[in-house]
């Protein structure tokens, strides 16, 4: 379940971020005093001040993202109008309905308001309450590390060629002295800074693109699937209801504290539950395509089962979801090459493996009609063709 704000710090992700910030900041402060002393000129003081401001901003928004948290839907939440329940999905863990734009996070243990993704570096989700803080953290981190990568590289160059500058220089070159330890730490800091610029810069690009569209990472995937589903079924194109213009979208994300994370403004011609109704339709199509499989060999839940057949060992999906162990003869339901074991939830939200999978539909994908006298979670053969589920 979701931990307290301060306990979120006790995780490899936040600890790693704090260590990287400290290493790069220490390296910059140590070398700037020799390369461009801030007390020697206005340019040096301005340069050092800009970096320290970026470093402090990075640390501040990182802690704000972590301590504020994404905000979660209250347990047992339901819409005020009982008729609106049909447009919402029910969360069996939180024992309540999922508010528009919310999704359940298995790691946090709650339905997160406007969930974007679960970030291990802040050890919580990026959602309604901390999305703006997280974006500012990314911007400050990329700018600060870009400055550090350039400056530290120049300092390393001057340190390595210090003897040449002594004998052949003009005498105005900065003299930088590094011990073996500081040299290794500086090289490590350069590697970390370049890695942050590349990796976090790519994430920042995706975040800015989503902010301008007012779409989370999950919603981008929903919209993409909606386009394919509606084109295949000959339906009108799906219009994302929360796109209110780039300026309005940016204000909504960066300064969205005036909203409660449950009720959102929508564009003209769209309804409050357009997105949730599309999600329900996609889930129904997913259930129709589900198939029941029988495990022929036992599987212990390993991420890379090297002792299995090469196809099974190398064909596992690249996700951070947990693997469920199987026993020979066990049944599982799926609609893709990598299938998942059907599970049921007991009271209180605890999961247990179930014998009768609920993911298998009682409909044939060809006829789209329920089989006669067939229970809702049972199996059905197609009555209009020879297809067997």
pLDDT at 358: 34
Output the tens digit of pLDDT for each of the chain's 389 residues. Answer: 556 778 888 899 999 999 999 999 999 999 988 888 888 788 889 999 999 999 999 999 999 999 999 999 999 999 999 999 999 999 999 999 999 999 999 999 999 999 999 999 999 999 999 999 999 999 999 999 999 999 999 999 888 887 777 767 676 777 788 889 999 999 999 999 999 999 999 999 999 999 999 999 999 999 999 999 999 999 999 999 999 999 999 988 888 777 889 999 999 999 999 999 999 999 999 888 877 777 776 766 666 666 666 766 676 666 656 666 666 655 554 443 334 444 444 434 444 433 333 333 334 444 444 444 444 444 444 444 433 33
Q: Are 389 and 380 in contact (CB under 8 A)?
A: yes
pLDDT at 161: 80
List the domain boundaries for the chain. 7-71+113-213, 289-389
pLDDT at 78: 94
pTM comes to 0.78
Question: Which residues are identified as catalytic?
Answer: 119
Dig out the tokens for 130 from the structure: 């901390």
């Amino acid at each position: 379940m979701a931990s307290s704000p301060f306990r979120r710090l006790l995780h490899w992700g936040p600890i790693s971020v704090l260590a990287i910030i400290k290493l790069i900041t220490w390296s910059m402060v140590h070398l700037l005093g020799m390369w461009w002393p801030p007390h020697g000129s206005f340019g040096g003081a301005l340069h050092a001040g800009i970096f320290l401001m970026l470093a402090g901003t990075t640390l501040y928004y990182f802690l704000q993202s972590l301590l504020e948290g994404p905000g979660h839907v209250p347990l047992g939440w339901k819409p005020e109008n009982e008729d609106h329940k049909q447009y919402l999905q029910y969360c069996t863990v939180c024992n309540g309905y999922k508010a528009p734009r919310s999704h359940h996070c298995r790691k946090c243990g709650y339905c997160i308001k406007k969930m974007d993704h679960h970030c291990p570096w802040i050890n919580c989700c990026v959602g309604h309450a901390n999305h703006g803080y997280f974006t500012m953290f990314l911007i400050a981190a990329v700018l600060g590390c870009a400055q550090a990568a350039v400056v530290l590289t120049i300092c390393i160059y001057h340190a390595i060629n210090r003897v040449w500058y002594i004998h052949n220089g003009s005498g105005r070159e900065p003299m930088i002295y590094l011990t073996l330890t500081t040299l290794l730490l500086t090289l490590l800091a350069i590697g970390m800074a370049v890695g942050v610029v590349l990796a976090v810069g790519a994430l920042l690009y995706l975040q800015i693109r989503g902010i301008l569209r007012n779409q989370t990472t999950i919603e981008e995937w929903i919209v993409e699937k909606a386009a394919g589903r509606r084109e295949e079924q000959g339906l009108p194109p799906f219009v994302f209801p929360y796109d209110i213009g780039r300026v309005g979208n940016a204000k909504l994300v960066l300064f969205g504290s005036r909203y409660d994370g449950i009720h959102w403004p929508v564009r003209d011609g769209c309804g409050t539950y357009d997105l949730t109704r599309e999600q329900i339709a996609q889930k129904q199509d997913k259930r129709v395509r589900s198939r029941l499989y029988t495990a022929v060999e036992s599987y212990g839940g390993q991420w890379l089962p090297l002792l299995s057949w090469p196809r099974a060992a190398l064909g596992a999906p690249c996700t951070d979801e947990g693997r469920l162990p199987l026993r020979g003869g066990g049944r599982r339901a799926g609609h893709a090459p990598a299938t998942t074991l059907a599970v049921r939830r007991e009271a209180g939200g605890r999961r247990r493996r179930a014998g009768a999978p609920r993911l298998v539909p009682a409909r044939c994908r060809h006829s789209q009609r329920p089989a006669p006298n067939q229970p809702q979670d049972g199996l059905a053969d197609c009555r209009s063709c020879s297809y067997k589920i």
